[in-house]
Amino acid sequence: MSSIRNPHRNAAAAEQPEHAAHYAALVARDARFDGRFFVGVTSTRIYCRPVCRVRTPKAANCLFFGHAAAAEQAGFRPCLRCRPERAPGQAPIDASSRLAWAAAQRIQAGELDEHGMEGLAGRLGITDRHLRRVFAEAFGVSPIDYAQTQRLLMAKRLLADTSLPITEVALAAGFGSLRRFNTLFQERYGLAPSQLRRNMASTQVSGGDEADTDAASSLRFELGYRPPLDWARLLAFLSHRCIAGVEQVDGLAYRRTVRVGLGAQAPTGWLEVTQATGRDALAVRMSAGLLRALPAVLAGMRRLFDLDCDPQAVGLVLGELASDAPGLRVPGAFDGFEMSVRAVLGQQVTVRAAHTLAGRLAAALGEPVPTPFPALTHLFPSPRRVAEASADEIGSLGIVRQRVGAIQALAREVAEGRLDLGPAADVEATMAQLEALPGIGRWTARYIALRALGWPDAWPTGDIALHKALGVSKAAHADAIAEAWSPWRGYATLHLWRRLGEGLPTLAPPTDTPLPTGARS
């Protein structure tokens, strides 16, 4: 069910495309559609998620929007019960939606405020006119309206989930002026921030975020997702690839140290993630020092755990391949450089060996950081630190010369700003840049695209494990089979690795796949 764009006028609700289908999902409170659309209730001027537990409004009073910003632009206020700011996002699957999504990621990182519309468009390689057009098509609003909505929703979240002073809330949400924050908040939501905090306290219901009771030491938030989510398998994948001193999987909890940004003043700290009890959400606890980078930290967690995945959409394409594990996600990356270095270290060695080498690198070059967890001791080294280390220093850790050259070439490109390994990067251009570096081949570039760039259709061609899982001997044959799983070949990759690891039988290709002669080994 596709999202509806902003109906800039309050036309009759029944005239909206797909109104009946959206309303049916609303009546069912179907969590699979959480974040795929929002409903504005014309009688109250409030907009909600489709999973909201309040009384279902009449169909004639409902308008549907593809994004929270579109609902707010149309004059609707966010619901205090279901809290639209906690809804999962939507993963891009085509070039135009990915471009708009990349712009949104950069806006949330503050680039629109720092560089303006022309500067933001230039960083994306397009004109500002084209940026406005693709953004409006994807989100139903302008980039400026989107940025304002994101700041206000983050402020609303902080007012509800923490006891931070309102001045700190305004700064953490991205407002440079408390007066400007108060004015916009009053204009958009019809009440002052302090009033909203009191109202939120009186309307909290089961399923709300756990409020932080000790803001001096840590902050607590929840991140929603569309069910199902296979938390155990997700942690199992990450546990084998954790970097000692930087990451830890302890039971059903994931922990890590964090640096946000590359400058000397970049915020640092730690975080811990568990599955919320009785809710389709992950519970995040983080050190208070990360407050000024909160949007980036929460976005990084969403990427790492693939929380914007739509399991229903993936399952429809993957069919039998995903039927026995519909909640499997593609583990992403909190830090694209860190994940990419780990991928390079994993070339032609076992997962365990790569784990050992990455831990040695972090201990030797990473900065110490205080945490409440004995297993977390260091930040992963910055690109600049890796680039400036001597080859002998890195080689003394047991890393072969070819890998040392690849890691340092990668670090130099990132440190000098020539290579972006974040989710807003252009996928094809970035893979080409990676393959041009010494010691980085096609498989590694695609694996980085899958996890660091968050490209759901990435397929690591030539992967021997995939060949075994499919029962074929040649990359061309595996690639031909995988075409049937586009645009979700990244998820197919994880499912095939899972099947092989769990000793499941070879999977027969889709019946309509034109397999080359002699494809089966």
Looking at residue 424, what is its pLDDT? Answer: 82
Rounded CA separation 509/485 (Å): 10
Rounded CA separation 225/207 (Å): 13
Average confidence score pLDDT of the chain: 89
Q: What residue has token string 């999977």?
A: 507
Q: Name the residue with higher pLDDT: 398 or 101.
A: 398
Looking at residue 10, what is its pLDDT? Answer: 39
Is 463 among the residues known to form the active site?
yes
Average pLDDT over residues 245-263: 94
Say yes or no to pLDDT of 209 above 50.
Answer: no
Pairing of β 247-250 and β 77-78: unpaired
Could you read off the pLDDT of 300-325 as tens digits, one per residue?
Answer: 999 999 999 999 999 999 999 999 99
Rounded CA separation 427/95 (Å): 10
Looking at residue 348, what is its pLDDT? Answer: 87
The residue ranges of DSSP E strands in 8-122, in sequence order, are 38-41, 46-48, 62-65, 77-78
Looking at residue 464, what is its pLDDT? Answer: 94
Say yes or no to pLDDT of 77 above 90.
Answer: yes
**Least confident window among 8-12, 159-163, 259-263, 345-349:** 8-12
Average pLDDT over residues 158-181: 92
Looking at residue 215, what is its pLDDT? Answer: 44
Other CB atoms within a 10 A radius of the CB of residue 180 amount to: 11
Rounded CA separation 142/138 (Å): 10
Categorize the per-residue pLDDT at 90 as very low, low, confident or very high, splitting at 50, 70 and 90.
confident
Say yes or no to pLDDT of 448 above 70.
Answer: yes
Amino acid found at 304: L
Q: Name the residue with higher pLDDT: 521 or 177.
A: 177
The pTM of this model reads 0.84
Say yes or no to pLDDT of 245 above 60.
Answer: yes
Q: Which of 161, 212, 310, 463 is catalytic?
A: 463
Contact 419, 97 (CB under 8 A): no
Rounded CA separation 382/411 (Å): 8
**Least confident window among 3-12, 148-157, 236-245, 409-418:** 3-12
Say yes or no to pLDDT of 205 above 60.
Answer: no
Categorize the per-residue pLDDT at 135 as very low, low, confident or very high, splitting at 50, 70 and 90.
very high
Alpha-carbon 90 to chain mean position:
9
**Least confident window among 303-317, 409-423, 503-517:** 503-517
Q: Which of 34, 48, 145, 209 is catalytic?
A: 48
DSSP letter (8 states) at residue 19: H
* Domains recognised in the chain with CATH numbers: 13-83 (3.40.10.10), 95-203 (1.10.10.60), 215-456 (3.30.310.20), 459-521 (no CATH)
